[in-house]
């Protein structure tokens, strides 16, 4: 029998793990890394259970934890890459995407477009446009001001539009998709 | 559709375009469980179940590490209000009539109720240490509590009203009703506990969850120096007393975390007033500062004989109230009929069953999911890739979209459903896409190629 806390905790996992995975995946775009970071996120949440108190929304809390975990990853990865480059090593051990995640056609296009954004723009787009958080919630998750969210979102939107329009022109997008 | 709208549309659909399977989800969950067990073992936490930390003693003894301290404050609140499971658009008006309430919340015959000893108000002066010690040990200072309060968190669009009744000693049990109101729409969540079982009921979806908990003996009075410590990395560590396994009234009856977060540093607050009457209780008023983005100071009204946080307010730099808890009723050591502590589940379904019953769409290669009875027809469909074929069996719909189209969504209008198929991109126009739609409860499915 699980404790009450554990039941609640794993209820969170049941309810939010898929969204958290997709959020991280859209940011890091590597399925194995996304799974690792999602697991790390949930482990941190377990340990910080008692800080989920001041009427913070659980969903926002989880996404904030995911954001922090992802940011940490990028920082570490950046250092790691520098070391690799210095040693002229090559990391060829990319896991197979197919086994972990399946991305449908339009999704691939969007993910490709997201790659063209910097990390901040990508995060704000994923939280605001894909996960549907409000400006205020997005600001809380990222620990930014509302103004910074709006400005970054505006820039991200412009860059995405540019990318997708170019892509669509290249693909001669069927008019039906325009609805 | 403008390019802007098209972009929004595609972004919104990304969630559906990424498919992360249930098997992966289960795998990660089991890895997570193993890691938590391992971490807990390293910390010396005794496990006596398949995994996890049980409420070993009565409600829960003091655990030595804050990370495993059970945070019942808000647990049920989170389940009901914050887990976003109140998504059913059907809402009811505030101040519902009694007829709509679960049976156990209706006024009941009190003839079997135990009468606890009358609680005496305390009027002597108290020190900061004395009142803080009472707050973190409030479970020791009363037997029953019945009350109502309204709470608001700055920035939230709505407010919460809580009703509760708790019995700690004789026939222990409790119930809570938490109603979150936003734009005249209510989300109501009930919780009950009695005899080792906890029930959570969600009124909007008419679903419930039933869980077990273990009771044991109570722990001793917690001293401030044992409750609030700092580890070798300088991180605050907090120990908590036990309390009931439902959370509706925790922020007032068992304000352990609030005491930890706001008053653990005795230098950050002062006693503003020794005696102030509130709802017939003699309270001590605390005024303190708190470095928070939304507020900078707070005021607590703490019942001097029980340590119950009767009322609180937080203030921004301009002195405006940001968050508050305003009680409308607080009765201590009054008789409660324990019948109130078990729910009437009539008309409610298990949350797990409810989830299973929700519509679900599986896309990709569904060949292995095709039932034997339909296999022949499915193979026939494959021979006609320029036609959309829809097969139905036992309420499940097996969809073979014609070349260049994929299943977008199903719209249900009563028993009539409409299947919308969207064109694929040019690159994928030579492929066929399949889907299995389950749980839509429609008898017909009209096909629309968008």
Question: Per residue in B141-185, pLDDT tens?
Answer: 999 999 999 999 877 788 999 999 999 988 899 999 999 888 888
Of A48, A101, A179, the CB nearest to B20: A101
| Pairwise CA distance, residues A79 & B364, whole Å | 39
Please give the pLDDT value at position A176.
Answer: 28
CA Rg, chain B, in Å? 27
- Residue A52 pLDDT class (50, 70, 90 cuts): low
Query: Which residues in chain A are closer than 8 Å to B7, comparing Cβ atoms?
Result: 157, 160-161, 164
Query: What's the whole-model pTM score?
Result: 0.49
Count chain A–chain B contacts defined by CB atoms under 8 A: 199
| Pairwise CA distance, residues A47 & B39, whole Å | 10
Residue of chain B nearest A35, judged by CA positions: B28
Please give the pLDDT value at position B175.
Answer: 95
CB distance from B51 to chain A under 8 Å?
yes
Helix (H/G/I), strand (E/B), else coil: B194? strand
A97 burial type by CB count under 10 A (0-12 exposed, 13-18 middle, 19+ buried): middle
Residues 6+ apart with CB under 8 A from A52: A45, A58, A61, B71, B74, B78
Query: What share of chain B in percent tops pLDDT 70?
Result: 78
Please give the pLDDT value at position B122.
Answer: 93
| Pairwise CA distance, residues A14 & B443, whole Å | 30
Please give the pLDDT value at position B377.
Answer: 92
**Tens of pLDDT along A115-133?**
888 888 999 999 988 888 8
Q: Do B74 and A52 contact (CB within 8 A), yes or no?
A: yes
Helix (H/G/I), strand (E/B), else coil: B175? strand
- Residue B138 pLDDT class (50, 70, 90 cuts): very high
CA distance to A25, A26, A127, A130, per residue, from A20 (Å): 8, 10, 10, 12
Residues 6+ apart with CB under 8 A from B57: B215, B216, B217, B218, B219, B242
Residue B266 phi/psi, 5-degree rounding, is: -65, -15
pLDDT surpasses 80 at B51: no
Choice among A69-83, B182-196, B374-388 with the minimum mean pLDDT: A69-83
Q: What is the DSSP string of B386-400?
A: TS-EEEEETTEEEEE
Please give the pLDDT value at position B216.
Answer: 58
pLDDT surpasses 50 at A147: yes
| Pairwise CA distance, residues B268 & B292, whole Å | 13
| Pairwise CA distance, residues B243 & B70, whole Å | 9
Choice among A97-106, B124-133, B336-345, B369-378 with the minimum mean pLDDT: A97-106
Please give the pLDDT value at position B182.
Answer: 83
Determine the average pLDDT of the residues in A101-108: 80
Residue tagged 């549309």 (tokens): B9
CB distance from B84 to chain A under 8 Å?
yes
* Of residues B13 and B108, more confidently modeled: B13
CB contact under 8 A, B83 and A11: yes
Angle between helices B22-42 and A31-47 (to 10 degrees): 40
CB distance from B42 to chain A under 8 Å?
no
Please give the pLDDT value at position A113.
Answer: 85
Q: Do B81 and B180 contact (CB within 8 A), yes or no?
A: yes
Please give the pLDDT value at position B203.
Answer: 86
pLDDT surpasses 70 at A53: no
Of A49, A106, A174, the CB nearest to B13: A106
Q: Do B377 and B391 contact (CB within 8 A), yes or no?
A: yes
- Residue B232 pLDDT class (50, 70, 90 cuts): low
The one-character DSSP state at B92 is B
* Of residues A128 and B36, more confidently modeled: A128
Reference B147, options B37, B36, B252; nearest CA is B252
Give the helix ranges, DSSP H, for chain A.
4-28, 31-47, 58-87, 97-100, 105-115, 119-125, 135-142, 146-171
ipTM of the complex: 0.81
Query: Which residues in chain B are closer than 8 Å to A5, comparing Cβ atoms?
Result: 52-53, 70-71, 75
CB contact under 8 A, A2 and B49: yes
Of B1, B25, B212, the CB nearest to A17: B25
Of B83, B155, B261, the CB nearest to A15: B83
pLDDT surpasses 50 at B317: yes
- Residue B355 pLDDT class (50, 70, 90 cuts): low
Q: What is the largest distance, in Å, between two alpha-carbon atoms of chain B?
A: 89
CB contact under 8 A, B14 and A111: yes
pLDDT surpasses 70 at B188: yes
Query: Which residues in chain A are closer than 8 Å to B450, comparing Cβ atoms?
Result: 176, 179
Helix (H/G/I), strand (E/B), else coil: B257? helix
Residue B372 phi/psi, 5-degree rounding, is: -55, -40
CB contact under 8 A, A26 and B51: no
CB contact under 8 A, B50 and A2: yes
Q: How far is A152 from chain B (nearest CA, A)?
A: 16
* Of residues B41 and A91, more confidently modeled: B41
Helix (H/G/I), strand (E/B), else coil: B314? strand
Query: Which residues in chain A are closer than 8 Å to B156, comparing Cβ atoms?
Result: 55
pLDDT surpasses 90 at B309: yes
- Residue B69 pLDDT class (50, 70, 90 cuts): very low
| Pairwise CA distance, residues B398 & A145, whole Å | 48
**Tens of pLDDT along B8-29?**
777 878 888 888 888 888 888 8
CB contact under 8 A, B9 and A179: yes
**Tens of pLDDT along B390-423?**
999 988 999 999 988 888 778 888 888 899 888 8
Residue tagged 């260049």 (tokens): B404
Determine the average pLDDT of the residues in A96-109: 70
Please give the pLDDT value at position B361.
Answer: 75
Determine the average pLDDT of the residues in A54-79: 76
Determine the average pLDDT of the residues in B23-44: 74
């Amino acid at each position: 029998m699980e404790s009450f806390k554990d039941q609640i905790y794993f209820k969170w996992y049941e309810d939010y793990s898929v969204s958290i995975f997709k959020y991280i995946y859209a940011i890091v775009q590597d399925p194995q890394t996304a799974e690792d970071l999602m697991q790390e996120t949930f482990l941190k949440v377990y340990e910080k259970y008692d800080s989920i108190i001041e009427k913070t929304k659980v969903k926002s809390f989880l996404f904030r934890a995911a954001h922090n975990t992802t940011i940490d990853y990028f920082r570490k990865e950046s250092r790691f890459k520098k070391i690799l480059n210095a040693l002229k090593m090559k990391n060829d051990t990319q896991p197979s995407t197919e086994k972990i995640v399946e991305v449908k056609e339009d999704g691939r296009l969007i993910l490709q477009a997201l790659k063209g954004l910097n990390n901040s723009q990508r995060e704000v787009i994923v939280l605001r446009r894909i996960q549907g958080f409000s400006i205020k919630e997005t600001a809380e998750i990222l620990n930014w001001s509302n103004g910074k969210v709006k400005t970054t979102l505006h820039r991200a939107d412009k860059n995405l539009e540019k990318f997708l329009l170019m892509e669509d022109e290249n693909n001669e997008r069927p008019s039906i998709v325009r609805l | 559709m403008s390019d802007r709208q098209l972009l929004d549309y595609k972004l919104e659909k990304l969630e559906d375009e990424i498919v992360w399977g249930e098997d992966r989800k289960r795998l990660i969950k089991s890895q997570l469980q193993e890691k938590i067990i391992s971490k807990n073992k390293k910390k010396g936490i005794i496990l006596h179940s398949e995994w996890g930390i049980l409420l070993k003693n009565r409600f829960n003894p003091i655990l030595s590490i804050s990370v495993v301290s059970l945070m019942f404050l808000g647990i049920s609140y989170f389940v009901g209000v914050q887990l976003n499971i109140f998504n059913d658009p059907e809402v009811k008006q505030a101040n519902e009539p009694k007829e709509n309430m679960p049976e156990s919340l209706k006024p009941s015959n009190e003839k079997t109720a135990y009468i606890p000893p009358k609680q005496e108000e305390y009027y002597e002066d108290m020190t900061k240490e004395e009142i803080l010690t009472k707050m973190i040990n409030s479970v020791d200072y009363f037997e029953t509590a019945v009350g109502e309060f309204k709470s608001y968190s700055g920035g939230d669009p709505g407010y919460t009203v809580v009703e509760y009744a708790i019995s700690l000693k004789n026939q222990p049990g409790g119930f809570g009703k938490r109603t979150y109101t936003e734009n005249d729409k209510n989300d109501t969540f009930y919780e009950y506990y009695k005899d080792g079982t906890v029930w959570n009921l969600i009124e909007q979806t008419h679903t419930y969850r039933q869980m077990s908990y273990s009771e044991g003996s109570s722990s001793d009075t917690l001293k401030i120096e044992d409750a609030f410590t700092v580890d070798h990395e300088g991180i605050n560590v907090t120990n908590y007393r036990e309390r009931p396994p439902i959370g509706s009234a925790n922020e007032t009856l068992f304000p352990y975390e609030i005491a930890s977060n706001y008053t653990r540093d005795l230098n950050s607050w002062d006693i503003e007033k020794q005696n102030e009457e509130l709802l017939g209780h003699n309270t001590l008023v605390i005024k303190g500062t708190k470095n928070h983005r939304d507020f900078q100071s707070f005021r607590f009204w703490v019942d001097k004989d029980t340590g119950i946080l009767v009322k609180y307010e937080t203030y921004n730099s301009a002195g405006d109230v940001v968050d508050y808890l305003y009680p409308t009723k607080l009765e201590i050591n009054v008789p409660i009929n324990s019948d109130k502590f078990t729910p009437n589940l009539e008309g409610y379904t298990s949350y797990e069953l409810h989830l299973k019953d929700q519509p679900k769409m599986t896309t990709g290669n569904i060949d292995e999911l095709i039932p034997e009875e339909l296999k022949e027809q499915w193979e026939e469909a494959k021979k006609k890739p320029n036609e959309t074929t829809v097969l139905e069996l036992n309420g499940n719909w097996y969809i073979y979209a014609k070349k260049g189209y994929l299943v977008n969504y199903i719209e249900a209008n009563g028993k009539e459903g409409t299947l919308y198929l969207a064109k694929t991109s040019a690159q994928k126009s030579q492929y066929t896409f399949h889907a299995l739609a389950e749980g839509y409860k429609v008898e017909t499915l009209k096909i629309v190629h968008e």
